[in-house]
């Protein structure tokens, strides 16, 4: 039975050898437990920890326990309790550094995240503000022409008034009818109101450059484009067959004929026609007859209309005669005397006399001119009428056609 005995002994030895470390381990665990009791703050810190923090710290416990246990036993042997008390705060500090920051870091991370969001919002607001500011700067840097282009017609008219221009949309349309060239009309207005260099865009917000913008906007919005030829024929036929009736009816007819004549003029201008006969072929009407009819009606109607209407008619009819050069040569004296008569009848004697003086100087045959000049004053100032008739006798005698008419004024 030696074999069995040996096995048992061997088993006992094994048991003893295996048991001793377990006992020692228990003793060490007891010692460790005592150390842990002595370091209560470490336990309290663990209570404050959140479970995720404990889980993260679990791998570090083995290293910490081994290092912490041996010094704790040596301290007990070498030092009295006060030393342990001193060590406790050290562990507190260590534990706080190891554990609390884990919780605090999360809080700080949340705060940091919130701060970043708030900063991002502020940054966005700042960026938005900067963008807005940039837009304003861009507007200021726009050229004068770009700023003028953005103005409405009403704003342009208001600025024109600020520049002391006495213009309206209708008055500009009337000028464009006479001359449908925007640049030319603009230049005339600048010269008329002496605007060159008078205003500074940087200081006043406008200058003479605004005038062309205004005229251009009026031209774009007004009905001043030429009509088709066939649309005019019926209107011209009506005008040629019109019979004078009364002041009201004649006035309405004048407006209608004025509009028709404007369209005839614009066709000639756009097609560069300067001869009435060529224009006849283009639109199928007798242009010269229509011009005569229109002048007769205007002379009759404008005697009772306003002075401004006479002024406008003068510019318009000269535009027609300047375009149709053959008619200008035929009717220039007649139209000048018509206009001079109308100015005198409206009380502008200076302008009327000046026009007659010019006509008399430019013509060798003066009897009809003197007769017209003297007769228009008969209803205004008889003494002046006789004075003009007497002056005519220096150039007119019984050989001239209108000599008897002049003598009739002298004896009247």
Q: In terms of Cα–Cα distance, which of 93, 101, 80 is closest to 41?
A: 93
Q: In terms of Cα–Cα distance, which of 319, 350, 318 is closest to 334?
A: 318
As given in the structure block, the two tokens for residue 103 are 């919780």
Specify the pLDDT at position 37.
42
As given in the structure block, the two tokens for residue 304 are 């009772």
Compute the distance between CA of residue 151 and CA of residue 364 in angstroms, rounded to an integer: 55
Q: Are 309 and 302 in contact (CB under 8 A)?
A: yes
Specify the pLDDT at position 266.
85
Q: What is the value of pTM for the model shown?
A: 0.54
Specify the pLDDT at position 175.
83
Specify the pLDDT at position 92.
43
The number of beta carbons lying within 10 Å of the beta carbon of residue 363 is 11
Compute the distance between CA of residue 18 and CA of residue 20 in angstroms, rounded to an integer: 6
pLDDT in tens, the chain (412 residues): 444 434 443 443 333 444 344 434 444 443 444 434 434 443 343 444 434 433 344 444 443 434 433 443 343 444 434 444 444 444 444 444 434 444 444 444 445 545 455 444 444 444 444 444 444 444 456 788 889 988 999 999 999 999 999 999 988 987 887 777 889 899 999 999 999 999 998 899 899 999 999 999 998 888 766 666 667 888 999 999 999 989 999 999 999 999 899 889 888 888 889 999 999 998 889 999 999 999 999 999 999 999 999 999 999 999 999 999 999 999 999 999 999 999 999 999 999 999 999 999 999 999 999 999 999 999 899 999 999 999 999 999 999 999 999 999 999 8
Q: Which H, E and C letters describe the chain, residue by residue?
A: CHHHHHHHHHHHHHHHHHHHHHHHHHHHHHHHHHHHHHCHHHHHHHHHCCHHHHHHHHHHHHHHHHHHHHHHHHHHHHCCHHHHHHHHHHHHHHHHHHCHHHHHHHHHHHHHHHHHHHHHHHHHHHHHHHHHHHHHHHHHCCCHHHHHHCCCHHHHHHHHHHCCCCCCHHHHHHHHHHCCCHHHHHHHHHHHCCCCCCCCHHHHCCCCHHHHHHHHHHHHHCCCCCCCHHHHHHHHHHHHCCCCCCHHHHHHHHHHHHHHHHHHHHHHHHCCCCCHHHHHHHHCCCHHHHHHHHHHHHHHHCCCCCHHHHHHHHHHHHHHHHHCHHHHHHHHHHHHHHHHHHHHHCCCHHHHHHHHHHHHHHCCCCHHHHHHHHHHHHCCCHHHHHHHHHHHCCCCCCCCCCHHHHHHHHHC
Pick the CATH number of 229-363 from 3.40.50, 1.25.40, 1.10.10, 1.10.3470: 1.25.40
Q: Which residues make Cβ contacts (< 8 Å) with residue 270, sequence separation at least 6?
A: 180, 226
């Amino acid at each position: 039975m030696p074999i069995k005995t040996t096995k048992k002994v061997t088993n006992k030895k094994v048991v003893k050898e295996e048991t001793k470390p377990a006992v020692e381990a228990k003793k060490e665990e007891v010692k460790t437990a005592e150390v842990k009791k002595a370091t209560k703050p470490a336990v309290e810190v663990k209570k404050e920890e959140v479970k995720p923090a404990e889980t993260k710290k679990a791998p570090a416990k083995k290293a910490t326990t081994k290092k912490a246990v041996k010094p704790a036993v040596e301290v007990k042997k070498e030092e009295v309790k006060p030393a342990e008390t001193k060590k406790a705060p050290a562990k507190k500090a260590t534990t706080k550094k190891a554990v609390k920051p884990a919780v605090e870091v999360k809080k700080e991370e949340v705060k940091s995240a919130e701060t970043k969001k708030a900063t991002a919002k502020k940054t966005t607001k700042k960026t938005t503000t900067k963008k807005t500011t940039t837009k304003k700067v861009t507007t200021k840097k726009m050229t004068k022409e770009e700023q003028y282009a953005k103005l409405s017609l009403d704003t342009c008219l208001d600025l024109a008034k600020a520049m002391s221009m006495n213009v309206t949309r209708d008055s500009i349309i009337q000028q464009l009818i006479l001359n449908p060239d925007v640049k030319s009309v603009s230049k005339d207005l600048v010269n008329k109101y002496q605007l060159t260099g008078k205003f500074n865009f940087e200081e006043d917000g406008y200058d003479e450059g605004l005038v062309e913008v205004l005229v251009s906007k009026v031209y774009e919005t007004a009905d001043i484009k030429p009509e088709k030829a066939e649309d005019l024929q019926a209107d011209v036929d009506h005008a040629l067959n019109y019979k004078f009736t009364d002041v009201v009816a004649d006035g309405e007819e004048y407006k209608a004929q004025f509009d028709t004549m404007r369209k005839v003029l614009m066709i000639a201008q756009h097609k560069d026609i300067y001869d009435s006969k060529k224009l006849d072929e283009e639109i199928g009407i007798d242009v010269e007859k229509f011009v005569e009819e229109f002048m007769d009606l205007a002379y009759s109607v404008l005697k009772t209309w306003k002075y401004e209407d006479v002024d406008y008619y003068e510019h318009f009819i000269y535009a027609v005669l300047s375009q149709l050069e053959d008619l200008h040569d035929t009717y220039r004296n007649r139209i000048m005397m018509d206009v001079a008569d109308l100015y005198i009848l409206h009380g502008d004697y200076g302008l009327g006399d000046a026009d007659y003086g010019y006509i008399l100087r430019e013509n060798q045959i003066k009897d009809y001119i003197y007769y017209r000049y003297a007769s228009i004053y008969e209803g205004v100032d008889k003494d002046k009428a006789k004075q003009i008739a007497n002056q005519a006798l220096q150039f007119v005698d019984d050989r001239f056609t209108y000599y008897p008419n002049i003598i009739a004024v002298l004896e009247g």
